[in-house]
Chain A
């Protein structure tokens, strides 16, 4: 079994924009990516370049992994090959799945796979003293307003309220 974190497309893209690879490596390494995501046509070249630079590709390589990969398709046919590969690897290599995709997270929950979301990672940047409340709030707003990241207004509002315990410093 490996330790570490595997990023799906949403987490990968978020961290490309945030450019906080140093912090992520310090707290969540080793960092992985599913080979199927890395090879996908659905990533911009700059995102793929960052993935090659910061993440280690993993493949599905056992019967159990392939079985999970197929099982996820039966349960959620609207997950992509890359999503299912990411979740299957997380499940069988006991990795944390970093994702901000509702359906990916829902699947992780259904199979008791450890996961983390972008807002949670931003909050941890506060916890670790890496960023201030203002900085992480600005980072979240930038992802949403400038990069088209979708977070429901209620989730975002709740998250911002949860940051109040850190004060404004």
Chain B
């Protein structure tokens, strides 16, 4: 045990770029103690370990178990930063473990989209569009705009979590297990709802087209060219999943107003612009510059940054986070498969408040 703790302390401390002195100071212990723990000389008690875990951005379990031990057997495809950030990797694995446990507790089947490899858009446009249409069919949708993709994919059993992850340029990742199904993590940290929806659709694209590339830890990014073409496939799929071509052409015949089109399909103005550019209707760079210019005029010189959405934007209230996940927690609680303490932790409530919420839920429940 002392050796495992020592290895974990070193790994997580170095991942944050902390010295022994800095860790000691932040956790309220002496540098000599840290040195003893990292050399497996003494076994700290759980109070000290919890303080160290909190400082390192992990949990007590992360310090106590060997790397990867007891965690779900998932394969990943994600941004390269995943590999270099031990804390983030541990966090994702905990999320997966909990989600799996909740699904098993409630007895819901898992879901993995059918896989069919595709590595470039050129020459495969119709095929990717057809697969996007098939996926919409799987969701029980026709060509109409998707009201809430998070909700729709949750209903078919795809594990989706939306969490604030303060890592620059990280939008999301996907993971897959033969037994435990597919999982998508969508970053919400300073990211618009439109972009979050696109990320979900994009990761579903990777799950369908690039599943053979999912690996035990994180893929080492391929060469730049390969990576770009794969991202393009996932983007193309996402665009056609959210905006079916036939419906888009029909709507475009009715209105050429970018704002009306983006509102109709509930996507970013950039998705609409890209589609129009693909169809050869506009020059993407020119049209984007024009829109940015109009925005600047209308907003007292403020620039429309890449991270921003052209108003009106989708409201976060209309897209409550992690509804399916929370449903699993309440169901597990109802059947006694999760402790009150754990349910409160996952719902970010105190146990006292959880009890009151539970009572209120039961008052309105249909017998």
A residues engaging B (CB < 8 A)?
A: 8-10, 13, 35-37, 39-44, 47, 57, 59-63, 65-67, 69-70, 73-74, 77-83, 85, 101-104, 106, 147-150
Contact = CB atoms under 8 A, between A and B. Distances in A.
B350 A44 contact: yes
Contacts of B65: 70
A150 B336 CA distance: 10
Contacts of A83: 339, 341-342
Nearest to B2: A63
A60 B46 contact: yes
A78 B60 contact: no
A21 B338 CA distance: 28
A43 B98 CA distance: 21
Contacts, number: 118
Interface string B280-315: 000000000000000000000000000000000000
A78 B50 contact: no
B340 A69 contact: no
A157 to B, nearest CB: 17
B115 interface: no
Interface in B133-187: none
A13 B1 contact: no
B50 A35 contact: yes
B249 interface: no
B339 A103 contact: yes
B277 interface: no
B352 A13 contact: yes
Interface of B: 1, 43, 45-47, 50, 59-61, 64-65, 70, 97-98, 100-102, 105, 332, 336-342, 344-345, 349-359
Given A63-B43, A73-B70, A78-B98, 5 more contacts: A42-B350, A69-B60, A77-B101, A83-B339, A148-B357
A102 B336 CA distance: 6
A69 B356 contact: no
With most chain A CB atoms within 10 A of its CB, the pick from B97, B100, B338, B351 is: B351
A104 B64 contact: no
Contact of A81 (B45, B60, B337): B60
A145 B65 CA distance: 42
A148 B358 contact: yes
With most chain B CB atoms within 10 A of its CB, the pick from A35, A39, A106, A148 is: A148
B341 A101 contact: yes
A81 B46 CA distance: 11
Given A77-B101, A83-B342, A147-B355, A36 B1 contact: no
